[in-house]
Structure 1
């Protein structure tokens, strides 16, 4: 519906918590009635607390929920009757299509390949290579680490916080590490930020994959590579950061082609001998 599309634009690009996203989804799904819901009714509909609704409104820049509701009423009143293809899409379709737009923006930034190529050189040269990813970014670090280990002799995935994280950074530096790759995605764990600062204090070059060039961790990175995170569902979509991780893997391979070829051939021979994969 046209009204749903207009209401959705209120939240587009906003950094919201999972509870706040449930509220946003309820407003979009019930756009025609949303302008007349009390904060209590909306809280019950979204299965959140009433104060959560108030915090949601202020997070969007409104004075409170009544102010947000007035804005929704204006959107409902001004919505034209005509519909187009986008208006007929449901919220899940719009979320997925928004990821296509994030990929397009990433592709545009890659017109300048210098930052990625520089990152590839730094990562390929570091022995060992620590790869940091905490909380939501842990699977991204694991994914990168799995494939990087096929072309790099010593990849160390750092996916757990606590005091041991600083120990592992010191051990990597003592072992000869010269750079660290960090995936730091919303909601930006404090421990990841602290680890970046620790890595820089140890003398490591820090390459950070995050969602924006102005994310809270960018100031502590020697090289920031940004890929937008989808925020239209309850939990983030990491399509563009994952694509960027694959681009970085390619850059590592390009930076050390001889090593890459020999290690890949050795892996294939080992995998065939051990029958790792189905024929």
Structure 2
């Protein structure tokens, strides 16, 4: 009792890596390496170029070129830099089983998200873009379906026209076209690993149709980044057989709050819904 749990240091390391990568034009292969390093932030300063290449699924020369793209003489210089700025790890406060480790990893992801939200400007901008789009299409396929569906459920209480795009196939482009014809100006996408090719293609199509794309993704280096006008990262947990997505879910709720702030009649719509719910006896409590 009373010991501060260890993953906080990992959150700090991940935040430092994100900051190091910001502002650099990285190739898709280099974004893959960056994504891998953020996901293994605690280990990154101690990985050899061969180990990092294997983890990222790229060639060893690609790791070298990645380091040079960041402004270092080579990968050893990048690794020395990471070791210099990485604080010493605190002494372990006790062993955790695999289930506890998964929970602590998610707490760590939430701490990282809280650090990113210290600058609220991107979320405020996203909220305004979503509020002014009538209709507002919300895209989420496969693993991201639940995030998109949850956002849509609540957003419909305050936004006059929210359209859930949760099925792929040839109809997806048709539904994007229909939203554009109806007056949509923005699209919100939830994109989580493994990233379906359909989502990347859908965002490319949405941008070509004139929509501003706001994306919640697991990393700023996700494959959807190059087709997003505004990307808001929220890491997923990878300690269990299937990824956990507490941070993307919470970021979706934060976006809802920002959208409500940008909708002048949001409170009136909520009160109207509550009155109808009471009249219908909709809820048990």
What TM-score do the two structures reach when normalised by structure 2?
0.69
In the TM superposition, what is the alpha-carbon distance from 1:265 to its structure 2 partner?
Answer: 1.2
Report the 3-state secondary structure (helix = DSSP H, G, I; strand = E; otherwise coil) of the residue aligned with 2:265: helix
The aligned residue for residue 144 of structure 1 is: 151
Whole-angstrom distance in 1 between the partners of 2:275 and 2:57: 59
The one of 257, 262, 269 equivalent to 1:263 is 269
What is the count of residue pairs matched by the alignment? 206
Structure 2, unaligned stretches of length 5 or more? 1-5, 15-31, 33-52, 60-90
In the TM superposition, what is the alpha-carbon distance from 1:148 to its structure 2 partner?
Answer: 0.3
Whole-angstrom distance in 1 between the partners of 2:266 and 2:139: 22
The one of 216, 221, 224 equivalent to 1:214 is 221
2:93 is aligned with 1:85: yes
Change (3 A) 1:180 1:62: closer
Structure 1, unaligned stretches of length 5 or more? 16-56, 64-82
The aligned residue for residue 280 of structure 2 is: 274
Whole-angstrom distance in 2 between the partners of 1:245 and 1:59: 29
Runs of 4+ that moved beyond 6 A: 60-63
Whole-angstrom distance in 2 between the partners of 1:166 and 1:60: 32
Whole-angstrom distance in 2 between the partners of 1:167 and 1:266: 33
Whole-angstrom distance in 2 between the partners of 1:208 and 1:62: 26
The aligned residue for residue 174 of structure 1 is: 181
In the TM superposition, what is the alpha-carbon distance from 1:262 to its structure 2 partner?
Answer: 1.4
RMSD of aligned residue pairs (Cα, Å): 2.2
Q: Deviations over 1:90-136 (max 9, x none)?
A: 11111110111110010001011110000000000000000000000
The one of 231, 245, 248 equivalent to 1:241 is 248
Whole-angstrom distance in 1 between the partners of 2:153 and 2:198: 23
Whole-angstrom distance in 1 between the partners of 2:172 and 2:54: 36
**Higher Cα Rg, which structure:** 1
In the TM superposition, what is the alpha-carbon distance from 1:62 to its structure 2 partner?
Answer: 11
When structure 1 is superposed on structure 2, of 260-269 and 119-128 the one drifting more is 260-269
What TM-score do the two structures reach when normalised by structure 1?
0.70
